[in-house]
């Protein structure tokens, strides 16, 4: 594309505008948005049977960026842009603002002087973006900001506003750019104006539209410009322009701000008329001073460029706007303007609606509070306005009018996105978007960012470009609707609740709550009925009360975190357990429990848990509460917290207890407790002592417990060794000595360096249709000096072997042939389907259907069965005698299968692709029957060798060919030839697809050789018997040849004799005839 060359200014001056726009149109028609190279996302969300780090709000996708400020936004159907003029950054998003790419280097490479000060996009093609730099040069991109052209703006003043028209013309090949400029504010001189760049003209140039506010003076300080929605038909442009006290400006126009209406001759782009001169219907009163005398009764005029340091304004033109219409109200415009400082004379900064009837009317929007704005955005009859000043240290203000066309317009509602004010708003497809950011760079995070709202600005979710830091504190999981809620604190002591929804989990985050709590610690809890009531609680943990009025904070949401209600708790909160949207429990100091039945509004009088200090809470059902203490003690309530019973026995370890109920608690009354490095079991109403069902290394500490569908998990960490993991038992209710355990070791890139030690409890889980997903926060890299977002991490483990074992594919009740000559059953090909990432298995064969008479178990050796093909696993059982499985390193007894007997078999997973040794449930049990036959003990040799025969001689110098009997189903054989009887140092070790092999070398005369064969594919067999042969010496071979050469066969002598007799008879007859 020629217009993207470094000689961009020259080619424009050389009359190549058609090349510019043709190339632009081709780019748009092809929709060739160039992807920006990015660092590969390190997350692998589909890896099972290993702990995987999940993307949290961070640098990936520019979700969290410190420092940053969103000072302007432009949104389109497929592309969003955000400008950070404070830190000289320009971003692009192709995911509706969820993630962003930094495109600053591309515009800088073209010569832009950073920062970018103004941006605008084409309303019908968001890939077209215009950007003004701090030197008031204008750059245009048609491919979403990857390649740029400097279009050599040569207007007067500093660029203050931009607009791009829709395409028009016979082939939609034309488009215009509008630029508004102003001089340095406060100097008392009006120098700005409006320029238009017509991209479809034959000669590319900038056209001064000669803006007039005072009809006699062609100047104005322009701070906002816009095209009419019907620009191709009415050719109208709209602008907000202010004046200074210039002597040549008539006194009635000085130091004021106006709405101006212009008529552009788009056929020639050579002339423009303004205001009353346009000839539009009912335009005699233009320009319209933006001033509501009824609202500002103490002022006589609007604010202008009189003693100010800044004028900022914005325009929203109604979608029904038509400059040529004679209908009343056809030219409805919404706008704001603001002058700084606010103390100037006649400060009429506000939001206004200008109705163009017979005489234009200006209506100021009324509201409660100060009316100084930084943006407006219109959708239908709903107008939203962003307030310049922050609401408090955390939030900004968006004012909302749902009836912007009312006779007396007003802002009745407010929303509060996070950030320090300077709110920039934009609509797209019914969703409202917002950017917030300070105008001065700071060292501490200011919580600014990019936010979205789906209810016209009432509630906001901050999704990206967030100026904060993230130290993770807690996590809660919801299966349906699938969501992750996570809490964090930052270096500026702001605590946040984040939400991630959809798939893959944890990839896209939004901040739904931010607060500044004294303890710097927020926990998040979900209702047990979240699927129905969408209830989320967030509570401040560890806030130690020092004053009578000093209370802990609590927040409750009934809409998945979109909106929150704040309550207070009576004292310091240690832990929280939630039943539903109404009922929840708090663990308090001194071993007390408080209960609410109305969603946290009021709390009942706390009662004692019978423990002196509480470490954590858990629940089994709506009425069963389990309390873990700090000294190896546990108590429980079976009546919804009305009373608690302390278990008389404490555990041997006097430490913090993690306690959970068995899934079948209502029937078996079993609970599990983790304390120190052990896991215990107790049956309420039966046990007299805690049963130790698992003890791990003494350096490890149990930090979380969960029982999921009968499967018990115990999370642990070792601070001394910087490692963590989980113990897992599929059936923890079995008698002592029968419980099997797997250890789910946490590793990052094969290295143990994780710490799962969050309190009150470090383990969370989700249940899917085929897996249990464990979640934990890794604090191993948590240091106070880390300001980026990598000081803590969220990890998950997909236990895809929790619910089911391998699926058997060998048919049930299969009949296996029995060789009637040898009495040997044929091989049994056991096959099954892999569950997920499993690679090693345990096979068991029984002689009875009750699985009591075990016949064979491969667990007698190590490692377990490792099939050659992990995607289609199988193993051939070589019946006939005890032997070693080819795929195993140790001997496995494979006893003889008896003919005429039925056997039963099953299999389970014992290891995964990650190297984790983990057990799955057993598969179903299936049977097979060996057919009747003669029972003998003939050894099974695999392939049978034919030639050369064992123990025979072989000619010296002759061809060396070997053959053997085919082996059933074999596609490849392994052949070996050696001079050693033990087959060491073979001369040949080759594979062949036939039952023969021709040796290409020369056999040494007088030497003995040994050879053997086995099946190689698809199933490996035992080696055949080893045959030997001796190559005859050369003399013996020659003698044998000579002996064979002098021996005359008898039939030769017989023929010769008959011939002689015949000759004699013929001679005798001749003599007689004579």
- Contact predicate 56/794, CB 8 Å: yes
Q: DSSP letter for 241, please.
A: E
What digits encode the pLDDT tens for the residues 571-606? 899 999 999 999 999 999 999 999 999 999 999 999
Q: What is the pLDDT of residues 626-655, one digit of tens each?
A: 999 999 999 999 999 999 999 999 999 889
CA–CA distance, 94 with 72 (Å, rounded to integer): 17
Instruction: Write down the pLDDT at residue 929.
Output: 94
Backbone angles phi, psi at 465, to 5 degrees: 50, 40
Tens digit of each residue's pLDDT (9 = 90 or more) over 210-260: 999 999 999 999 999 999 999 999 999 999 999 999 999 999 999 999 999
Residue 408 has pLDDT above 50, yes or no: yes
Residue 1071 confidence class, pLDDT cut points 50, 70, 90: low
Share of the chain above pLDDT 70, in %: 86
What order do you get walking across the sheet with 584-588 strand by strand? 575-578, 584-588, 592-596, 607-608
List C-alpha distances in Å: 276 to 224, 234, 287.
20, 15, 8
pLDDT digits (tens, 9 = 90+) for 954-981: 888 777 889 988 887 888 999 999 988 8
pLDDT band (50, 70, 90) for residue 749? low
Residue 204 has pLDDT above 90, yes or no: no
The DSSP secondary-structure symbol of 495 reads E
Q: Is the pTM of this model over 0.85?
A: no
Give the pLDDT of residue 819: 62
pLDDT per position as a tens digit, 148-170: 999 999 999 999 999 999 999 88
Q: Which tens digit of pLDDT belongs to each residue from 779-809?
A: 986 543 333 445 689 999 999 999 999 999 9
Contact 137, 112 (CB under 8 A): yes
CB atoms under 10 Å from CB of 250, counted, come to: 13
What are the residues whose beta carbons fall under 8 Å from the beta carbon of 105, sequence distance 6 or more?
none
pLDDT at 554 over 90: yes
pLDDT tens figures, 707-746: 999 999 999 999 888 899 999 999 999 999 999 999 999 8
Please check the confidence at residue 22 and state whether its pLDDT lies above 80: no
Does 1051 have pLDDT greater than 90? no
Q: How far apart are CA 393 and CA 508, in angstroms?
A: 26
Mean pLDDT (the chain) is: 86
pLDDT at site 1068: 58
Please determine, for residue 3, whether its predicted confidence score (pLDDT) is greater than 50.
Answer: no
Question: Distance between CA atoms of 880 and 891, rounded to whole angstroms?
Answer: 16
Q: What pLDDT digit, counting tens, does each position of 447-469 carry? A: 999 999 999 999 999 999 999 99
In order of their start, the domains of the chain are 471-799 (2.130.10.10), 807-930 (2.60.40.10), 945-1046 (2.60.40.10)
| Residue-level pLDDT at 851 | 94
- 729 vs 114: CA distance, rounded Å: 60
pLDDT digits (tens, 9 = 90+) for 1053-1064: 555 566 655 666
Pairwise CA distance, residues 1031 & 644, whole Å = 93
Tell me: pLDDT of 295 over 80: yes
pLDDT tens per residue, range 665-707: 999 999 999 999 999 999 999 999 999 999 999 999 999 999 9
């Amino acid at each position: 594309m020629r217009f993207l060359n470094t000689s961009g200014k020259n080619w424009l001056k050389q009359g190549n505008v058609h090349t510019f726009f043709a190339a632009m149109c081709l780019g748009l028609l092809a929709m060739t948005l160039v992807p920006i190279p990015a660092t590969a996302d390190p997350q692998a969300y589909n890896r099972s049977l290993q702990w995987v780090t999940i993307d949290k709000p961070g640098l990936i996708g520019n979700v969290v960026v410190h420092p940053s400020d969103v000072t302007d936004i432009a949104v389109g159907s497929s592309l969003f842009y955000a400008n950070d003029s404070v830190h000289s950054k320009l971003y692009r998003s192709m995911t509706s603002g969820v993630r962003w790419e930094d495109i600053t280097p591309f515009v800088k490479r073209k010569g832009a002087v950073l920062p970018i000060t103004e941006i605008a996009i084409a309303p019908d093609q968001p890939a077209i973006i215009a950007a003004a730099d701090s030197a008031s040069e204008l750059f245009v991109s048609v491919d979403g900001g990857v390649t740029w052209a400097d279009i050599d703006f040569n207007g007067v003043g500093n660029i203050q506003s931009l607009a791009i028209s829709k395409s028009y013309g016979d082939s939609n090949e034309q488009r215009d750019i509008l630029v508004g400029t102003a001089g340095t504010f406060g100097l008392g001189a009006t120098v700005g104006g409006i320029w238009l760049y017509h991209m479809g003209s034959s000669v590319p140039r900038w056209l001064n539209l000669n803006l007039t506010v005072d009809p006699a003076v062609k100047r104005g300080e322009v701070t906002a410009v816009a095209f009419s929605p019907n620009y191709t038909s009415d050719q109208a442009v709209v602008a907000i322009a202010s004046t200074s006290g210039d002597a040549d400006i008539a006194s009635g126009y000085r130091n004021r701000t106006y709405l101006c209406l212009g008529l552009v001759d788009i056929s020639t782009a050579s002339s423009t008329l303004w205001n009353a001169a346009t000839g539009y219907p009912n335009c005699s009163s233009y320009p319209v001073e933006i001033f509501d005398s009824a609202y500002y009764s103490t002022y006589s005029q609007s604010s202008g460029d009189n003693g100010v340091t800044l004028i900022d304004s914005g325009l929203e033109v109604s979608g029904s706007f038509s400059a040529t219409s004679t209908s009343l109200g056809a030219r409805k415009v919404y706008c704001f303007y603001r002058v700084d400082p606010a103390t100037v004379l006649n400060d009429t900064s506000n939001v206004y609606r200008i109705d163009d009837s017979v005489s234009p009317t200006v209506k100021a929007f009324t509201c409660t509070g100060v009316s100084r704005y930084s943006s407006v955005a219109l959708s239908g009859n709903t107008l939203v306005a962003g307030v310049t000043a922050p609401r408090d240290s955390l939030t900004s203000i968006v004012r909302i009018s749902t009836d912007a066309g009312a006779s007396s317009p007003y802002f009745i509602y407010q929303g509060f996105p996070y950030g320090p004010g300077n709110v920039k708003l934009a609509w797209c497809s019914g969703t409202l978007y917002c950017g917030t950011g300070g105008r001065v760079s700071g060292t501490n995070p200011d919580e600014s960012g990019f936010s979205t709202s789906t209810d016209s600005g009432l509630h906001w979710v901050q999704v990206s470009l967030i100026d904060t830091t993230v130290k993770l504190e807690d996590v809660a999981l919801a299966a349906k609707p699938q969501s992750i809620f996570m809490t964090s604190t930052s270096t500026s002591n702001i605590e946040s609740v984040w939400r991630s929804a959809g798939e893959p989990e944890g990839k896209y985050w939004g901040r739904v709550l931010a607060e500044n709590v004294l303890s710097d610690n927020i926990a998040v809890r979900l209702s047990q009925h979240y699927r129905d009531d969408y209830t989320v609680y967030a509570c401040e943990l560890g806030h130690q009360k020092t004053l009578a009025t000093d209370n802990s904070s609590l927040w409750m949401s009934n809409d998945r975190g979109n909106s929150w209600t704040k309550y207070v708790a009576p004292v310091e909160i240690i832990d929280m357990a939630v039943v539903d949207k109404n009922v929840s429990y708090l663990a308090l100091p001194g071993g007390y429990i408080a209960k609410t039945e109305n969603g946290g509004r009021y709390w009942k009088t706390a009662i004692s848990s019978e423990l002196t200090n509480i470490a954590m809470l858990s629940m089994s059902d709506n009425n069963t509460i389990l309390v873990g203490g700090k000294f190896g003690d546990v108590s429980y309530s079976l009546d919804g917290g009305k009373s608690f019973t302390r278990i008389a026995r404490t555990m041997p370890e006097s430490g913090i207890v993690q306690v959970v109920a068995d899934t079948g608690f209502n029937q078996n009354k079993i609970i599990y407790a983790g304390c120190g490095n052990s896991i215990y079991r107790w049956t309420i109403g039966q046990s007299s002592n805690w049963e130790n069902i698992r003890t791990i290394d003494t350096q490890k500490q149990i930090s979380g417990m969960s029982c999921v569908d009968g499967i018990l998990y115990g999370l642990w960490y070792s601070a001394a060794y910087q490692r963590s993991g989980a113990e897992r038992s599929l059936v923890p209710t079995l008698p002592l000595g029968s419980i099997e355990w797997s250890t789910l070791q946490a590793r990052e890139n094969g290295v143990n360096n994780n710490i799962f030690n969050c309190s009150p409890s470090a383990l969370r889980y989700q249940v899917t249709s085929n897996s249990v997903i464990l979640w934990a926060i890794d604090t191993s890299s948590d240091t106070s000096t880390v300001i980026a977002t990598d000081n803590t991490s969220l990890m998950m483990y997909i236990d895809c072997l929790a619910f089911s074992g391998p699926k058997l594919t060998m048919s049930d009740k299969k009949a296996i042939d029995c060789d009637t000559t040898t009495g040997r059953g044929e091989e049994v090909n056991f096959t099954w389907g892999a569950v997920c990432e499993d690679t090693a298995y345990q096979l068991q064969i029984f002689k009875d259907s009750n699985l009591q008479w075990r016949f064979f178990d491969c667990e007698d050796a190590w490692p377990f069965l490792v099939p050659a093909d992990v995607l289609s696993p199988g193993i051939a059982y070589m019946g006939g005698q005890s032997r070693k499985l080819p795929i195993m390193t140790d001997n496995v007894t494979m006893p003889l299968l008896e003919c005429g007997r039925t056997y039963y078999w099953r299999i389970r997973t014992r290891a995964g692709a990650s190297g984790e040794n983990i057990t799955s449930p057993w598969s179903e049990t299936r049977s097979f029957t060996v057919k009747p036959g003669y029972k003998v003990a003939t050894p099974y040799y695999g392939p049978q060798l034919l030639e050369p025969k064992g123990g025979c001689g072989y000619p010296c110098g002759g061809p060396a060919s070997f053959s053997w009997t085919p082996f059933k189903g074999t596609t490849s054989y392994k052949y070996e030839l050696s001079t050693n009887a033990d087959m060491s140092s073979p001369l040949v070790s080759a594979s062949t697809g036939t039952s023969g092999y021709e040796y290409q070398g020369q056999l040494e005369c007088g030497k003995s050789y040994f050879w053997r064969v086995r099946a190689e594919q698809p199933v490996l067999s035992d080696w055949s018997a080893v045959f030997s042969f001796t190559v005859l010496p050369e003399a013996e071979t020659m003698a044998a040849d000579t002996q064979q050469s002098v021996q005359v066969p008898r039939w030769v002598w017989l023929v010769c004799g008959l011939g002689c007799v015949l000759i004699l008879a013929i001679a005798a007859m001749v003599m007689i005839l004579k």
